[in-house]
Amino acid sequence: MGEAGADAILISQPNNRRYLTGFTGHDSPSGSSAGWLFVTPTEALLLVGFLSLEQAQRECPDFGHLDTAGKPAVLVGQLAREHSPQRLLCEGSHLTYAAFNELQAQLPAGCELVAVEGWVERQRASKDEGEVAKIQRAAEVTDAALQHVLGIVRPGLTERQLAWEAEKHMREHGAESLAFDVGVAGGPNSSLPHNPPGERPCQSGEPIWIDMGAQVDGYCADLTRTFCLGEPEARLREVWDLVHRAQQAAIAQCRPGMTGREVDSIARDIIAEAGYGDKFGHSLGHGVGLVVHELPRLAQTSSDVLAEGNIVTFEPGVYLEGWGGVRIEDLGVIRGGKVELLSAAPKRLVVG
């Protein structure tokens, strides 16, 4: 609070709120918040609606709890009159423009509402051992579901069927939910880095990728494998080996102190040297935590500096329009000066 030059802070973003308090309430899809965290130098209060009050009290015994009566901005106005902060920080990349203005209108004269961005998100980038253990568990649930899918996949199963098999396995073996919708793409569909699973049946000899992640105790995993049923054509083996080599190099050479751009370049240079530089149209990776896309970013546009405790994906890909694509993704934690993989699912091109 000192470094931010503020004497009160309002946290509204649900994952930031959970990170700081342990409160697992979900905001409603229609936009109403499960609660706001209001912090002053002497108090930490959860402002929650009637429906979530009991849950907040049970989950966060070290915090105060106030009922918003459906009007959180009005309650913050009352608190601001009691505590008289001069600068109240809020999250400008979460509060909507309308909510910011509604809140500002409730504040007493002399209290400035200051929007900041990324304040808690930057703290979330470094995981403690408890968080690492949860992500490790999410990765294990994800690995097991991949093994299940590789055990049942055969020509004729559709993308949608494979995605559902993966989801069911995760949900029935320890995942409270998914980190994101399972992606599956085969043949020409696989040349799009993201593909909603459809009715196309898998065929022998073509690239098929699956991108999936479980969520356990709020924490996410993220894993991609590309495989082929039966004998791959020569180009598929060539591209798969290239992507695999680029990924392994990035994992082996990644060190704390490097920028996201430097780590991205390790993989990107290898792919570019092989002539596929313009076919790797996304970044190498991203942080993973309570949300599947967090800081730090491993990308050409990223100046984030990697540090101990970061958990990131390594997921280079090569996509050839009309033919297909290959992506291989693992999750690793930066620990003891290097990358320790959290994903343990086997990487092999040929299945069945």
Decide if residue 180 touches its own copies (CB under 8 A): yes
- Confirm if 221 and 213 have CB atoms less than 8 A apart: yes
Structure tokens at 229: 């049923």
As measured in angstroms, the least distance from the Cβ of 287 to its own copies is 10
- Applying the rule CB under 8 A, the residues between 190 and 219 that interact with its own copies are 192-194
As measured in angstroms, the least distance from the Cβ of 338 to its own copies is 26
Decide if residue 282 touches its own copies (CB under 8 A): yes
The count of chain residues that interact with its own copies, using the rule CB under 8 A, is 37
Choices 145-153, 165-173, 198-206, 325-333; region in contact with its own copies by CB under 8 A: 165-173
Choices 148-156, 186-194, 326-334, 342-350; region in contact with its own copies by CB under 8 A: 186-194
The H or E element that residue 210 is part of is strand 208-212
Decide if residue 122 touches its own copies (CB under 8 A): no
Decide if residue 30 touches its own copies (CB under 8 A): yes
Decide if residue 291 touches its own copies (CB under 8 A): yes
Based on CB atoms, which residue is closest to its own copies, 168 or 255? 168
Decide if residue 323 touches its own copies (CB under 8 A): no
Candidate list 281, 303, 307, 341; residue touching its own copies; CB under 8 A: 281
Rounded distance between C-alpha atoms, residue 162 and residue 184, angstroms? 7
Decide if residue 294 touches its own copies (CB under 8 A): yes
- Confirm if 51 and 14 have CB atoms less than 8 A apart: no
Taking residues 74 to 103 in sequence order and writing x for each that binds its own copies by CB under 8 A, - otherwise, the string is ----------------x-xxxxxxxxxx--
Structure tokens at 32: 């109403």
Tell me the sheet residues that pair with 201.
158
As measured in angstroms, the least distance from the Cβ of 350 to its own copies is 29
Strand order in the sheet with 214-216: 177-178, 214-216, 219-220
Candidate list 1, 22, 74, 164; residue touching its own copies; CB under 8 A: 164
The H or E element that residue 124 is part of is helix 119-124
Rounded distance between C-alpha atoms, residue 306 and residue 309, angstroms? 9
CA distances from 265 to 14, 162, 222, 252, 280 (A): 33, 33, 21, 13, 12
Based on CB atoms, which residue is closest to its own copies, 3 or 97? 97
Three state DSSP letters for 5-71: CCCEEEECCHHHHHHHHCCCCCCCCCCCCCEEEEECCCCEEEEECHHHHHHHHHHCCCCEEEECCCC
Residues that bind its own copies (CB under 8 A): 26, 28-31, 50-51, 54, 90, 92-101, 115, 117, 164, 168, 171-172, 177, 180-181, 192-194, 281-282, 291-294
